[in-house]
Amino acid sequence: MPRARVRALAEFHKNFVRGTTSGNHKNSARLDAMPWKAKPVSILQRENDNLKTTICLLRRELENRQGAVGRLELLVHERTARIDELTGKLEQARAQNQRLDAECEHLTEMMVEMIRVAPITSGDPF
């Protein structure tokens, strides 16, 4: 391929990437590439497109928040289950403490009764 042709293709490519093929029109390469004429966009169409974009963004945000709510609900459920489990253990410990207190009082009463029945005469009660 001749050098002049290579230079011309390189120049065309460079200008096409920048958006111009000649100094006549700013976007002539891009407009020439379209086989149809660009229709002017009305204000309502532009506003409609902006609203569609806003709707998409809000849907995405809503989905993100719904996902966060779902994760928080799961976390609350897990923590509630753990709280219930620990509450059960606490109730068991309290019940055991009450049984031990009752046993302690019973043993104390037995000791008091033993001392009353058989007073200690020596220094060693056993």
State residue 92's pLDDT score.
Answer: 97
Does the global pTM surpass 0.85? no
Question: Which segment of 32-36, 52-56, 99-103, 108-112 scores lowest on mean pLDDT?
Answer: 32-36
State residue 115's pLDDT score.
Answer: 85
122, pLDDT greater than 80: no
Check: CB of residue 16 under 8 Å from CB of residue 9.
no
Kindly give, in sequence order, each residue whose CB lies less than 8 Å from that of residue 16, ignoring residues fewer than 6 positions away.
Answer: 29, 30
State pLDDT tens for residues 2-60.
677 667 767 776 666 555 445 455 545 455 565 667 677 788 888 999 999 999 999 99
State residue 21's pLDDT score.
Answer: 47
The average confidence (pLDDT) of the chain is 81
DSSP 123: S
